[in-house]
Amino acid sequence: MGIYPRHSFLRQKRLRRTGRAGGPAQVQIHQPLQRLKVSKPGMSGARKVHIKSFGCQMNVYDSHRMADTLAPEGFAETATPEDADLVILNTCHIREKAAEKVYSELGRVRALKQAAARDGRRIVVAVAGCVAQAEGREILRRAPSVDLVVGPQSYHRLPALLARVERGEAVIDTEFPVEDKFDILKAPSREATRARGVSAFVTVQEGCDKFCTFCVVPYTRGAEVSRPVAKIVAEVEHLADAGVREVTLIGQNVNAYHGEGPDGSPWTLGRLLERIADVRGIGRLRYTTSHPCDVEASLIAAHRDLPSLMPHLHLPVQSGSDRILVAMNRRHGRADYLDAIARMRGARADMAFSSDFIVGFPGESEQDFRATLSLLDEVGYAGAFSFKYSARPGTPAAEMADQVPEEVKSERLQRLQAAIDRRQAAFNARSLHRSFDILFEKAGRRPGQIVGRSPYLQAVVVTAPSTAIGDIRSVTITEIRTNSLFGALNATPVRAREPMPAEAGG
Ligand code: SAM
Ligand code: SF4
């Protein structure tokens, strides 16, 4: 069955769940590479690593953890690949375009590597993330300048794998090891955390057991695993201590979280959020990405009870048509989805929602597509991401009859995006003259300006000193330009929770 045999997924799942020994890492050795000088710390200063992330927040988080784990090995981060000794591309396999981007980037990196070699300097090239997991050895065949291929579940082994590369080997490690990578990864230094800003991601859950028919995640990221509560709390405390004010808990199916609590029982995401809300210094909480089937009572209660939990939920639905939802194996219908939204709004009237949509899934008719457009109207989203269906090798949908022609997908995507843009503009327009708490994150483009985020993730620009970066301050929105909101600081914080005024007719 294509490139992701289900039995291998089930084996990974068994190993990771039971903690049974999985044997040594599957490190494959290829022909020796030409040995060139690799600078060592203490010889010519720190080595430099450039990490480029593609795709989702999970990859951004993983890239940070790779940098943290390489720091004690003498690697300092650099923003440019030109002066790097090690270039890591942390890749995404979710759509064909995302995966192909990696190969064009590897073309650029190969040119850099060749130029460095002419100067007697070696650049080590690593491919990490989901393309590494899915394509493994194929990457070395298509891009021989790559020295190391490492999957999302084994990047904690980077120091050892790099040592092998330095000995002249080309290495592939796409194993799903039994050891917990989070136990081995190094924590970020205070300086690294500060440099990354006041808002941080924390992975609480990885992998997916849902098997939507279009999606590669269950194969590339493996089975659903939740981190224990105590370890997550310790990580959040460490971040708060270094000045982080907002934490977004992340996972491919974050609301299916069921990590071990301090009492030994599995905790839900709602309970975890309640615990993290108590961490001193954390003023805001978010979580992403959620599945509609896992919107359960404790999560709704958390939205009702926790003022620091932002009233914004990214709840992907993919399609508004029941027929297509069945074909996608989403395990919920349109009515279930609307019910989850209604339950959330019942708990907190100021909740706003965003979603992901796929257009042109195999068999999608114009009528199915119109059901998606009508769902958009029914929910009244604050924003959404939309994608053309991309057939992924090895997934059931790629084998389905009735693949939708490319031009139909393009036309539907255009219509959907226009409808989403109208919704987003209407949502932003309703923010005018209202006051929100804004978390200021960075300097603005113009001198004297700083930029922050509203509870609904809208970018808000104000004129204020940069010392306010890291503060949560009340702001009244005075102007709206495309997707940026401009405002003025208020003297007092916002206390009352007010719902966003309903759209006329919506
Ligand atoms: N777990 C999340 C969920 O169930 O909604 C989403 C995870 S996925 C990393 C992010 C988004 O990519 C999905 O919500 C979906 O819209 C999109 N996506 C996934 N596979 C796709 C495919 N084969 N073609 C187009 N879009 C895809
Ligand atoms: Fe992919 Fe999300 Fe479906 Fe899991 S629930 S298979 S991550 S789209």
pLDDT tens digits along 328-340: 999 999 999 999 9
pLDDT value of residue 177 = 84
Which among 328, 432, 427 is positioned nearest to 381, based on CA atoms? 427
Whole-number mean pLDDT of the chain?
A: 89
Please give the average per-residue pLDDT across 376-382, as a whole number: 96
pLDDT exceeding 90 applies to what percent of the chain?
85
Tell me which of 96, 211, 356, 403 to substitute to probe ligand 1's pocket, judged by most ligand atoms within 8 Å of the beta carbon. Answer: 356
Query: Which of 155-164, 170-179, 234-243, 493-502 comes out lowest in average pLDDT?
Result: 493-502
Tell me what pLDDT residue 180 has: 86
* More confident site: 10 or 45: 45
How far is ligand 1, taken at its centre, from the CA of residue 100, in Å? 17
pLDDT of residue 18: 31
Helix (H/G/I), strand (E/B), else coil: 253: coil
pLDDT at 493: 56
Contact 11, 20 (CB under 8 A): no
Q: What's the pLDDT at 503?
A: 55
Considering only CA atoms, which residue is closest to atom 1 of ligand 2? Answer: 215
What's the 498 CA to ligand 1 centre distance in angstroms? 32
* Rg value, the chain, Cα: 23
Closest ligand to C-alpha of residue 224 is 2
Q: What is the distance, to the nearest Å, from the Cα of residue 10 to the centroid of all Cα atoms in its chain? A: 24
Instruction: Give the model's pLDDT for residue 6.
Output: 40
Ligand showing the shortest atom-to-Cα distance for residue 385: 1
The model scores a pTM over 0.85: yes
Atom of ligand 2 nearest to the CA of 291: 5
Average pLDDT, stretch 52-78? 95
Sheet with strand 148-150: strands edge to edge:
27-29, 171-173, 148-150, 124-129, 86-91, 47-53, 75-77
Cβ 315 under 6 angstroms from ligand 1: no
pLDDT at 313 over 60: yes
Ligand 2 atom nearest residue 208's Cα: 4
Q: Are 52 and 90 in contact (CB under 8 A)?
A: yes
Q: CA-to-CA distance for 403 and 438, rounded, in angstroms?
A: 45
pLDDT surpasses 70 at 442? yes
Residue 30 has pLDDT above 50, yes or no: no
397 lines ligand 2 (CB under 6 A): no
The residue contributing the CA closest to ligand 1 atom 4 is 291
Closest CA to 503 of 393, 352, 356, 372: 352
CA distance 341 to 313: 9
Check if the beta carbon of residue 476 is closer than 8 Å to that of residue 493: no
* pLDDT score for 353: 98
Say which range, 30-44, 161-175, 314-328, has the weakest mean pLDDT: 30-44
Estimate the share of the chain in helix, then strand, then coil, as percent rounded to the nearest 5. 40, 20, 40
Poorest-pLDDT segment among 98-102, 277-281, 355-359: 98-102
Q: Average pLDDT of 219-245?
A: 96
> What pLDDT is recorded for position 482?
80
Centre of ligand 1 to C-alpha 57, Å, is 13
pLDDT at 502: 57
Q: Is the dihedral of CA 409, 415, 418, 419 positive or negative?
A: negative
Average pLDDT over residues 266-288: 98
> Distance between CA atoms of 222 and 198, rounded to whole angstroms?
30
